[in-house]
Amino acid sequence: MSIFLDHNATTPLEPRVLDAMLPLLRGTHGNPASVHRFGREARVALDRARAQVAALVNAQPPQVMFTSGGTEADNLALRGAVHAAPRSRLLVSSIEHAAVQETADALAKDGWAVERIPVDSECRVDLPALEKLLDGGARLVSVMLANNETGAIQDVCAAAGLAHARGALLHTDAIQAAGKMPVDFTALGADLMTLSAHKLNGPRGVGALIRNRRVDLSPQITGGGQEQGLRGGTENLAGAVGFGVAAELARVELNARCRHLRALRDHLEAQLKQLSGVRIFAAHAERLPNTVQFAIDGYAGEWLVMELDRRGFAVSSGSACHSASGRPSHVLLAMGCNDTVARGAVRVSLGVENSVDDLDALLATLGAITARRRGAVAFA
């Protein structure tokens, strides 16, 4: 049995969420677009899920559009917003998830003007730099609420204020933040916000784009008129219902979960610092209560991840979506880390089911690995 410490990649499904989903997988359930009773019941279930997701981030239910996941929602936000305003400019922070980064790259290839907003060495978006970039005009600014690698929380409220003052829209990818900190769509002043179910103990394959309805979006998947015409395709009913329940649980249990995660994280960090040559990234930034990204001097992150994996610990070196590429983290590079330091990164991301024992086992194993290899050339 391995110990799962990679919750920023995905989270195990909450049993209560599974219980809510199973009847939908087993019974006869209609297409929500059908007019008969099966279809109506499906629609009622979908509407309840929409209200639950809305409540998690203090949005209105009609502002919630279900998608096949966070990546699709990020794509819809960026492409949808710029396609609705020809020849417009797009500003994205340099620490965004690949779903935003690569969409921005693709838009740049198609001739849209795309600029990156820099961050400081603590992984915080440089607001004065954003302000300067906004002088050139922009349709959309995309700044994530919490970074998936370091856990650093961004001042999205301030970024929204700057964007709005220049007539730009603000999109925030809140995939990592939701369920791990209070998220208030309305108070943040965001126009678009991305959520994902499987990062908050919901099912994979379902996400949402929260949209302030004055924002014009051009649909990216057409056909059937679902989700207010912005996202065609028969809804993933069981997925949406699971997302709804997961969101409700995350909302109700938020404080307890955060306390638990923070206590674990503080314990882990305090103990990590006892090992020699440990550097914790974004240590001085406000961070998510569950995320620690660190490097141990002289060790390659990929190697540590593999050694831990062999011993039954699932951690990562950064974003799961890039684990196959072998490239150093673009987030750490953006923070000004050099290539060697960036390649040293190991990310531990905790979940509600983790315990102090899990962490003590991890720490003991890390201690053993590094003691054995201390002094050896770790960069193979």
Catalytic residues: 321
What is the x/- site pattern for other proteins, positions 337-356, by CB under 8 A? ----------------x---
Distant-in-sequence, close-in-space partners of 194: CB < 8 Å, separation ≥ 6: 70, 73, 74, 77, 99, 171, 172, 173, 174, 175, 207, 208, 209, 210
Q: Quick check: 315 binds other proteins (CB under 8 A)?
A: yes
Query: 60, 220, 271, 365: which one contacts other proteins (CB under 8 A)?
Result: 220
Q: Quick check: 149 binds other proteins (CB under 8 A)?
A: no
CB 69 within 8 A of CB 175: no
In the chain, alpha helices (H): 15-26, 37-56, 70-83, 98-109, 127-134, 156-165, 185-188, 237-252, 254-272, 301-310, 330-334, 339-343, 356-373
Interactions with other proteins, residue window 35-64 (CB under 8 A)? 35-40, 43
Query: 322, 330, 343, 347: which one contacts other proteins (CB under 8 A)?
Result: 322
CB of residue 210 vs other proteins: minimum separation in angstroms? 18
Q: Under rule CB under 8 A, how many of the chain's residues touch other proteins?
A: 84
CB of residue 26 vs other proteins: minimum separation in angstroms? 5
| Structure-token pair, residue 92 | 């994205």
Q: Quick check: 187 binds other proteins (CB under 8 A)?
A: no
| Structure-token pair, residue 166 | 């220049």
Q: Quick check: 69 binds other proteins (CB under 8 A)?
A: yes
Q: Quick check: 72 binds other proteins (CB under 8 A)?
A: yes
Count of Cβ atoms closer than 10 Å to residue 236 Cβ: 20
Comparison of 33 and 263: residue with beta carbon closer to other proteins: 33
Q: Quick check: 179 binds other proteins (CB under 8 A)?
A: no
CA quadruple 59, 60, 66, 67: dihedral sign: negative
Count of Cβ atoms closer than 10 Å to residue 42 Cβ: 22
Which of 193, 205, 214, 202 lies closest to 144 in space, CA to CA? 193
Query: 51, 106, 215, 254: which one contacts other proteins (CB under 8 A)?
Result: 106
Query: 63, 94, 101, 148: which one contacts other proteins (CB under 8 A)?
Result: 101
Q: Quick check: 204 binds other proteins (CB under 8 A)?
A: yes
Q: In angstroms, rounded to a whole number, what is the distance separating the alpha carbons of residues 143 and 106? A: 18
| Structure-token pair, residue 96 | 């965004």
Query: 91, 100, 209, 282: which one contacts other proteins (CB under 8 A)?
Result: 100
Chain-centroid distance of CA 210 in Å reads: 14
Interactions with other proteins, residue window 222-241 (CB under 8 A)? 222-226, 232-239
Q: Quick check: 21 binds other proteins (CB under 8 A)?
A: yes
CB of residue 286 vs other proteins: minimum separation in angstroms? 26
CB of residue 132 vs other proteins: minimum separation in angstroms? 27
CB of residue 63 vs other proteins: minimum separation in angstroms? 17
CB of residue 158 vs other proteins: minimum separation in angstroms? 26
Q: Quick check: 290 binds other proteins (CB under 8 A)?
A: no
